[in-house]
C-alpha cells in the first residue's frame, strides 16, 4: 500500500485548517470554549435555522456544527447535511397531526378572536430594536434571576396544551377547498432519495422548501409580495411549538410517541378562485412548515407554496410561480457550494478563454487591415 | 449467527459491479472469475449488486427463493412494469418489458438472463456498436432463439430499449441497447 | 457519537444507486441519467459528483490518481485524494497516469493515452450543453428527447457571423455515437479528441446537478461543428508560428499553462499535465515533438 507523498498542496491545506481553528480561540487566556448547550439555548434561533437547513433534527450536533463552522449558518447546515448522508434511513413516521402540537406561540391575522385565543408567546415582533446596553455586561446572577423569575411568575394555567386550527372554522363554512384526501394516501416524494425531475408533485416542492436556505426563500417570496406575483396572503394561523413524533412500537405495532421536534407552521389564505370540485368559489391556501422557530421561513414558504400551486395549475407568470426556478435555486448547500467553487483554480479553462479571445481579436485585426 | 453468503458482502459486490461496468462498457466481453461459487441461483449475485428497496423486480420464471426476496428487499412487480427482470434464457420471453420514454430512457428495464454458459457454441452472435472496436463475437449456450428477435423489437427505437446482462454460473456478459446483433 | 464510516464513506444503498445509474449511463451513451446525489463533506462544485462515482467504483485493490487542472498537488486534488485515502483503507494512490487503475480529474484528460484497464471519472459543474441556449431543465430534457440540437447550432452560427470564430473555449458540445450531445465537463478543446474512440471508459459525475453520464470506449465522440468550419484546439504558436515548448521538459505537443515569471516578468509556458511533464523530464528518450530546450 502506498500513498502519494505530501507536498506543497497538502501542507497548504494543513496550514489553513490550523489558522481557521486558531481564530476560534483568539480570546486566548480569557476565553472559554463554547459549550453546545449554550449555543442551543442562547442562540436558539440560529440553532433552529441550522437544523432546518441541515434537514436533520439533531440538536446537539447542530450546536457542534455551529461551533465548528464558527457561526456560519451555511457551513453549519452543510456539515449537518453531510453527516446525514452517512446515516441509513431506517423507518418512516406516519403522517403527523399538527393540531397535536404543544404550542409556545400561536397567532392569526385573519380573525381577532380565534378558538383558544391568540397567544403571542416569544416574539421580537413588537420589540423596540434598540440596543439593550445592560446585556453588554450581564452578570451570571442576573442571568439566573431572569430564568428563575419567569417561571415563578407564570401561573401553570397559562401554559396551554394544544389548540384547534383556525382554518377548521372556515372549512366548516365551506369557504375553503376540501382537503385533498387522495394526497394523504399518496407516498410523499422523498427528496433525499430521488432527484427532482419536473414536473414534481407538491410534496416534493414542500420538502425542498422545508430545508431551503431562509434568505433565498425570503427573497423569492418577497418578489411575489412586491408585485412579481399576486398571492396577497392573509396569515390564517402561525404556530410555533413542539410536535410529538409517533412511530409504531417495534413489538405491538401501536403508535407510540418517541420524542418531539420544535416546528414552525404557517397557513395562509389567498385570493379565491373557482374550485374544480365545488360549484362556488373558495379561498386558496398556502402551507409552510419547518424545523425550529423560524417564522420568516414558514411564512415565505407558505406564500411560495401558493404561488407554485398557481404556477403548476395554469403555468408560471413570474419567477415565484415557476417550480423549476424556485426549487432549484433555494438550497443553501447547493448554491453556496457552487458559489465558493469559483475560488478554485480555473487555469485550464481560462487559458482556453484567452485562446478564443486572441484568435477572435487577430481575425478582427486582419479584417481591419485587409 | 446466520452466515450470509459472500454475494451480500460489500467487497464482493464492489468487485462484481466493476465486472458489470466493464461488461456493459465493452459489449460481448466475458467477465470471468468474479462470481462467487456459493451454490446460489445463477444470476442472483448480479441481482444482489443491483437491486434494493428503491427498485422493483420481476421473476417471471420463478427462479428466486423466498429468502432471496427478503435479502434483495425489492418490491415484486410484473415483468411488464419492473425495473429489473430476472429470467431463464432457456425459455422464450413472454412479456413486454418497459422501454423507457424519450425524456426518460433510463426508466427502462434491465434484464438479467441466466444462461447455461458463455463458452460453448449454441448461439454465435456478431456484435457491433459503442464499446466495441470493430466487431466481436459472443457465444452463448442456453439462450432460446426467440430472445434475439424479441430484443430486436425492444431496442429498435433508440434511446428506448432494454439492456441485457447474461449470466452463467461463472461468467457474465452484457448487451446494451446500442449494440447491433447479428446471428452467425 | 462516532463519525467513522464504512469503506467508501457512502452507505451501500447510496453506492447501489450510483452503480445502477452508471450502468444506465454506459448503456445510453451521452444521456444524462438523473440520480439522487448525496451531500458529501466537501462543497457542491468541488467534485462531489465525481467523488460519488469514485467511491462507488473503488475497491481495496485500486490504484487511484486524482488531478485538478492536470496537477496532483493542486489543493483540491490533494483534499479529495486524502479524503479517499482516509475513507478507503487499503487502496494505493499514485501520481503516475500509467500506474492508475482509476483516475478522478477536474478540467483535464491526461496527455498519456489511457488504456483499456483504466477508467477516468470527470467532475462536472454543468452537465447539459443545452444550458448555453435554454435555462429550463424541463425544456432541455424535451430537446434531448427529440435529439433537437438546432438551437446549439444556431448559437455556433451566430458566433461565426459576429466574430468569424466559434467562441466556445472549453466544455465544447460533443455528439456521442451520432446521437446525444453532451457537455464534456470543462476540459479544454485540446482534450476533446481524446474522448473519440478512447480505450478507457469515461464517466462524468455532476453532484449538484444530480446527473451521471458516460462515453463508453470505442465510441464516436465528435465536437459539434459545421462542415466548412473545422474544430480547432487551442493554439500554442509563438509570433513566428513555431510551437511553444514547455520550459521544464521541452515538450511541444502538450497543453500548456501560461503565466508570467515573477522574477523576470516574462511570459512562460509549462505543461498543464504535471505527470506528463515529470515523466518527460526524467526520460532520456524523448518522444517526437520534444526538444531539449
On whether both A158 and A244 belong to a single domain, the answer is yes
- The answer as to whether A128 is a domain residue is no
Q: Compute mean pLDDT per 10 residues along chain C, 293 residues long, and list them.
A: 68 95 98 95 93 97 96 94 96 97 98 98 97 94 96 93 89 97 97 98 97 98 91 93 95 94 90 96 69 47
Contact C124, C205 (CB under 8 A): yes
- What is the H or E stretch that residue B16 is in? helix B10-25
For residue C222, which residues of chain B lie inside 8 Å, CB to CB?
A: none
Chains in contact with B, where contact means 3 or more Cβ–Cβ distances below 8 Å, are C
Contact A109, A302 (CB under 8 A): no
B25 and C216: CB-CB below 8 Å? Answer: yes
Give the distance, in angstroms, between the CA of residue B46 and the centroid of all CA atoms in the same chain: 8
B50 and C33: CB-CB below 8 Å? Answer: no
Contact B159, B138 (CB under 8 A): no
Contact B158, B180 (CB under 8 A): no
C257 and A13: CB-CB below 8 Å? Answer: no
DSSP, collapsed to helix, strand or coil, labels residue C205 as: strand
On whether both A106 and A71 belong to a single domain, the answer is no
Chains in contact with C, where contact means 3 or more Cβ–Cβ distances below 8 Å, are A, B
Q: Locate cell 420514454: which residue? A: B101
Give the 3-state DSSP-derived string for chain A, with helices as H, strands as E and coil as C. Answer: CCCCCCCHHHHHHHHHHHHHHHHHCCCHHHCCCCCHHHHHHHCHHHHHHHHHHHCCCCHHHHHHHHHHCCCCHHHHHHHHHHHHHCCCCCCCCCCCCHHHCEEEEEECCCCCCCCCCCECCCCCCCCCCCCCHHHCCCCHHHHHHHHHHHHHHCCHHHCCCCCCCHHHHHHHCCCCCCCCHHHHHCCCCCCCCCCCCCCCCHHHHHHHHHCCCHHHHHHHHHHHHHCCCCCCCEEEEEEEEEEEEEEECCCCCCEEEEEEEEEEEEEEEEEEEECCCCCCEEEEEEEEEEECCCHHHHHHHHHHHHHHHHHHHHCCCCHHHCHHHHHCCCCHHHHHHHHHHCCCCCHHHHHHHHHHHHHHHHHHHHHHHC
Q: How far is B116 from chain C (nearest CA, A)?
A: 24
- What is the H or E stretch that residue C64 is in? strand C63-68
Q: How far is CA A55 from CA A101, A209, B139, in A?
A: 20, 11, 52
B39 backbone dihedrals φ, ψ, rounded to 5°: 70, 20
pLDDT at position C3: 44
Pick the CATH number of C12-223 from 3.40.50.11310, 1.10.540.10, 3.20.20.140, 3.40.50.720: 3.40.50.11310
**Percent of the residues in chain A that have a pLDDT greater than 90, as a whole number:** 66
pLDDT at position A157: 64
For residue C258, which residues of chain A lie inside 8 Å, CB to CB?
A: 351, 354
B105 and C6: CB-CB below 8 Å? Answer: no
Dmax over CA atoms of chain A, in Å, equals 93
pLDDT band at A273 (very low <50, low <70, confident <90, very high): confident
pLDDT tens digit string along A303-350?
999 999 999 999 999 999 999 999 999 999 999 999 999 998 898 999
Contact C57, C231 (CB under 8 A): no
Q: How far is C70 from chain A (nearest CA, A)?
A: 8
Mean pLDDT to the nearest integer, A162-177: 85
Q: Give catalytic residue positions of C.
A: 30, 246, 249, 271, 277
Among candidates A13, A78, A355 on the partner chain, residue whose Cβ is nearest the Cβ of C169: A355
pLDDT at position A161: 65
Q: Locate cell 499535465: which residue? A: C273
Among candidates A4, A81, A338 on the partner chain, residue whose Cβ is nearest the Cβ of C95: A4
Asked if B71 is an interface residue toward chain C (Cβ–Cβ < 8 A), one would say no
- Express the helix, strand and coil content of chain C in percent, nearest 5 each: 30, 20, 50
C26 and B176: CB-CB below 8 Å? Answer: yes
pLDDT band at A272 (very low <50, low <70, confident <90, very high): confident
C272 and A195: CB-CB below 8 Å? Answer: no
- Compute the Cα dihedral for A162, A167, A169, A174 and give only its sign: negative
On whether both A102 and A180 belong to a single domain, the answer is yes
DSSP, collapsed to helix, strand or coil, labels residue B8 as: helix
Q: Locate cell 447455461: which residue? A: B116
pLDDT tens digit string along B100-128?
999 999 999 999 999 999 988 789 999 99
C177 and B130: CB-CB below 8 Å? Answer: yes
* CB burial of residue A146 (10 Å; 0-12, 13-18, 19+): exposed
Grid coordinates representing C246? 514547455
pLDDT at position B128: 97
Q: Beta B75-76 vs A234-248: how paired, if at all?
A: unpaired
Angle at C76 between CA C73 and CA C80, to 5 degrees: 95
Judge whether residue A94 has pLDDT over 60: yes
Contact B103, C141 (CB under 8 A): yes
- The answer as to whether A369 is a domain residue is no
- The answer as to whether A23 is a domain residue is yes
B105 and C22: CB-CB below 8 Å? Answer: no
pLDDT at position A1: 58
pLDDT at position C186: 96
Residue of chain A whose alpha carbon sits nearest to that of C60: A1
For residue C35, which residues of chain A lie inside 8 Å, CB to CB?
A: 195
Number of structural domains chain A divides into: 2
pTM of the model: 0.92
The answer to whether ipTM exceeds 0.95 is yes
Grid coordinates representing C99? 500506474
CB proximity list for A41: less than 8 A, separation 6 or greater: none
Round to whole Å and give the CA distance between A226 and A221.
9
On whether both A63 and A174 belong to a single domain, the answer is no
- Compute the Cα dihedral for B143, B148, B153, B158 and give only its sign: positive
Round to whole Å and give the CA distance between C24 and C180.
14
A324 and C138: CB-CB below 8 Å? Answer: yes
> How many residues are given for chain B?
184
pLDDT at position A160: 60
* Domain enclosing residue A63, as ranges: 10-85
Mean pLDDT to the nearest integer, A153-170: 75
DSSP, collapsed to helix, strand or coil, labels residue C104 as: strand
Judge whether residue A185 has pLDDT over 90: no
Asked if B130 is an interface residue toward chain C (Cβ–Cβ < 8 A), one would say yes
Residue of chain C whose alpha carbon sits nearest to that of A325: C136
* CB burial of residue B66 (10 Å; 0-12, 13-18, 19+): exposed
Judge whether residue B2 has pLDDT over 90: no
> How many residues are given for chain A?
370
Where on the phi/psi map is residue C271: left (φ > 0), alpha (ψ -120 to 50), or beta?
beta
pLDDT at position C292: 46
DSSP character string of B44-110: HHHHHHH--TTSEEE-TT----HHHHHHH-PEE--TTT-SEEEEETTS---S---B--SS-TTSB-E
Domain regions of chain C by residue span: 12-223, 235-293
Q: Which residues of C15-48 are buried (b: 16+ CB within 10 A; e: fewer)?
A: bbbbbbbbbbbbbbbbbbbbbbbbbbbbbbbbbb
DSSP, collapsed to helix, strand or coil, labels residue C139 as: helix
Q: Which domains does chain B have, with CATH numbers?
A: 6-183 (3.40.50.11310)
Mean pLDDT to the nearest integer, A79-101: 88
Mean pLDDT to the nearest integer, A26-37: 93
Round to whole Å and give the CA distance between C148 and C143.
5
Judge whether residue A278 has pLDDT over 80: no
Judge whether residue A129 has pLDDT over 70: yes
pLDDT tens digit string along B54-113?
999 999 999 999 999 999 999 999 999 999 999 999 999 999 999 999 999 999 999 999
Asked if C216 is an interface residue toward chain B (Cβ–Cβ < 8 A), one would say yes
For residue C114, which residues of chain B lie inside 8 Å, CB to CB?
A: none
Q: Locate cell 407538491: which residue? A: A202
pLDDT at position C250: 96
On whether both A61 and A160 belong to a single domain, the answer is no
pLDDT at position C205: 98
- Compute the Cα dihedral for A168, A169, A171, A176 and give only its sign: negative
Asked if B117 is an interface residue toward chain C (Cβ–Cβ < 8 A), one would say no
Interface of C with A in 129-158 (CB under 8 A): 136-138, 141
- Give every strand in the sheet of C211-215, ordered side by side: C33-34, C211-215, C201-206, C119-123, C102-106, C63-68, C92-93
Amino acid at each position: 500500500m502506498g500513498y502519494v507523498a505530501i507536498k506543497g498542496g497538502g501542507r497548504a491545506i494543513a496550514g489553513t485548517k490550523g489558522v481557521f481553528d486558531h481564530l476560534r480561540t483568539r480570546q486566548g487566556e480569557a476565553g472559554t470554549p463554547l459549550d453546545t448547550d449554550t449555543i442551543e439555548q442562547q442562540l436558539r434561533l440560529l440553532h433552529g435555522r441550522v437544523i432546518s437547513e441541515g434537514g436533520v433534527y439533531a440538536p446537539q450536533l447542530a450546536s457542534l456544527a455551529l461551533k465548528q463552522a464558527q457561526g456560519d449558518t451555511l457551513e453549519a447546515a452543510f456539515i449537518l447535511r453531510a453527516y446525514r448522508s452517512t446515516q441509513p434511513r431506517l423507518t418512516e413516521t406516519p403522517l403527523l397531526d399538527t393540531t397535536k402540537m404543544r404550542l409556545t406561540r400561536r397567532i392569526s391575522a385573519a380573525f381577532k378572536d380565534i378558538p383558544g385565543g391568540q397567544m403571542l408567546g416569544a416574539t421580537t415582533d413588537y420589540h423596540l430594536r434598540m440596543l439593550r446596553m445592560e446585556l453588554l455586561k450581564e452578570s451570571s446572577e442576573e442571568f439566573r434571576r431572569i430564568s428563575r423569575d419567569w417561571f415563578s411568575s407564570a401561573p401553570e394555567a397559562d401554559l396551554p396544551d394544544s389548540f384547534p386550527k383556525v382554518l377548521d372554522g372556515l372549512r366548516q363554512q365551506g369557504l375553503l377547498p376540501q382537503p385533498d384526501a387522495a394526497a394523504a394516501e399518496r407516498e410523499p416524494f422523498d427528496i433525499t432519495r430521488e432527484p427532482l425531475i419536473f414536473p414534481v408533485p407538491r410534496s416534493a416542492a414542500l420538502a425542498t422548501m422545508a430545508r431551503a436556505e431562509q434568505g433565498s426563500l425570503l427573497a423569492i417570496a418577497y418578489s411575489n409580495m412586491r408585485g412579481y406575483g399576486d398571492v396577497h396572503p392573509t396569515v390564517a394561523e402561525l404556530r410555533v411549538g413542539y410536535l410529538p413524533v409517533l412511530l409504531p412500537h417495534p413489538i405491538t405495532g401501536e403508535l407510540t410517541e418517541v420524542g418531539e421536534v420544535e416546528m414552525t407552521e404557517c397557513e395562509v389564505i389567498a385570493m379565491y378562485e373557482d374550485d374544480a370540485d365545488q360549484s362556488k368559489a373558495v379561498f386558496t391556501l398556502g402551507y409552510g412548515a419547518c424545523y425550529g422557530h423560524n417564522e420568516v421561513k414558514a411564512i415565505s414558504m407558505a406564500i411560495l407554496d401558493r404561488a407554485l400551486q398557481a404556477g403548476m395549475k395554469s403555468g408560471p407568470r413570474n419567477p415565484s410561480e415557476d417550480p423549476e426556478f424556485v426549487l432549484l435555486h433555494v438550497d443553501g448547500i447547493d448554491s453556496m457550494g457552487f458559489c465558493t467553487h469559483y475560488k478554485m483554480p480555473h487555469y485550464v479553462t481560462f487559458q482556453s478563454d484567452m485562446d478564443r479571445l486572441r484568435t477572435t481579436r487577430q481575425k478582427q485585426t486582419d479584417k481591419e487591415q485587409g | 449467527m446466520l452466515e450470509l453468503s459472500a454475494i451480500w458482502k460489500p467487497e464482493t459486490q464492489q468487485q462484481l459491479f466493476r465486472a458489470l461496468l466493464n461488461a456493459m462498457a465493452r459489449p460481448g466481453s466475458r467477465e470471468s472469475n468474479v462470481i462467487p461459487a456459493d451454490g446460489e441461483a445463477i444470476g442472483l449475485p448480479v441481482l444482489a449488486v443491483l437491486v434494493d428497496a428503491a427498485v422493483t423486480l420481476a421473476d417471471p420464471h420463478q427462479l428466486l427463493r423466498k429468502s432471496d426476496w427478503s435479502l434483495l428487499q425489492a418490491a415484486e412487480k410484473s415483468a411488464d412494469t419492473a425495473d429489473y427482470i430476472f429470467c431463464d434464457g432457456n425459455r422464450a420471453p413472454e412479456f413486454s418489458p418497459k422501454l423507457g420514454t424519450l425524456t426518460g430512457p433510463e426508466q427502462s428495464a434491465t434484464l438479467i438472463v441466466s444462461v447455461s454458459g458463455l463458452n460453448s457454441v449454441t448461439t454465435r452472435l456478431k456484435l457491433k456498436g459503442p464499446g466495441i472496436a470493430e466487431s466481436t463475437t459472443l457465444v452463448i449456450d442456453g439462450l432460446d432463439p426467440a430472445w434475439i428477435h424479441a430484443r430486436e423489437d425492444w431496442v429498435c427505437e433508440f434511446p428506448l430499449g432494454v439492456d441485457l446482462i447474461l449470466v452463467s454460473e461463472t461468467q457474465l456478459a452484457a448487451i446494451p441497447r446500442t449494440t447491433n446483433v447479428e446471428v452467425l | 457519537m462516532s463519525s467513522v464510516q464504512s469503506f467508501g464513506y457512502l452507505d451501500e444503498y447510496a453506492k447501489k444507486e450510483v452503480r445502477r445509474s452508471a450502468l444506465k449511463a454506459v448503456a445510453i451513451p451521452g444521456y444524462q441519467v438523473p440520480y439522487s446525489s448525496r451531500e458529501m463533506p466537501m462543497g457542491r462544485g468541488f467534485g462531489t459528483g465525481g467523488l460519488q462515482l469514485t467511491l462507488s467504483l473503488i475497491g481495496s485493490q485500486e490504484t487511484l490518481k486524482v488531478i485538478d487542472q492536470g496537477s496532483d498537488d493542486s489543493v483540491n486534488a490533494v483534499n479529495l485524494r486524502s479524503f479517499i485515502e482516509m475513507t478507503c483503507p487499503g487502496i494505493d494512490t499514485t501520481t503516475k497516469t500509467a500506474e492508475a487503475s482509476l483516475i478522478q480529474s477536474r478540467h483535464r484528460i491526461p496527455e498519456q493515452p489511457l488504456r483499456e484497464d483504466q477508467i477516468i471519472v470527470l467532475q462536472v459543474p454543468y452537465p447539459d450543453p443545452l444550458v448555453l441556449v435554454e435555462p429550463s431543465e424541463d425544456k432541455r430534457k424535451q430537446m434531448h428527447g427529440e435529439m433537437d440540437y438546432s438551437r446549439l447550432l444556431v448559437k455556433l452560427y451566430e458566433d461565426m457571423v459576429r466574430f468569424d470564430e466559434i467562441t466556445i473555449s472549453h466544455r465544447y458540445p460533443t455528439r456521442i455515437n451520432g446521437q446525444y450531445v453532451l457537455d464534456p465537463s470543462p476540459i479544454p478543446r485540446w482534450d476533446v479528441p481524446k474522448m473519440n474512440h478512447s480505450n478507457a471508459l469515461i464517466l462524468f459525475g455532476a453532484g449538484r446537478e444530480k446527473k451521471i453520464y458516460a462515453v463508453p470506449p470505442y465510441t464516436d465522440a465528435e465536437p459539434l461543428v459545421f462542415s466548412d468550419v473545422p474544430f480547432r484546439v487551442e493554439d500554442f504558436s509563438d509570433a513566428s508560428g513555431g510551437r511553444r515548448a514547455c520550459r521544464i521538459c521541452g515538450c511541444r505537443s502538450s497543453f500548456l499553462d501560461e503565466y508570467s515569471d515573477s522574477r523576470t516578468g516574462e511570459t512562460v509556458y509549462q505543461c498543464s499535465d504535471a505527470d506528463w511533464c515529470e515523466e518527460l523530464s526524467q526520460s532520456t528518450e524523448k518522444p517526437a515533438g520534444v526538444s531539449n530546450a
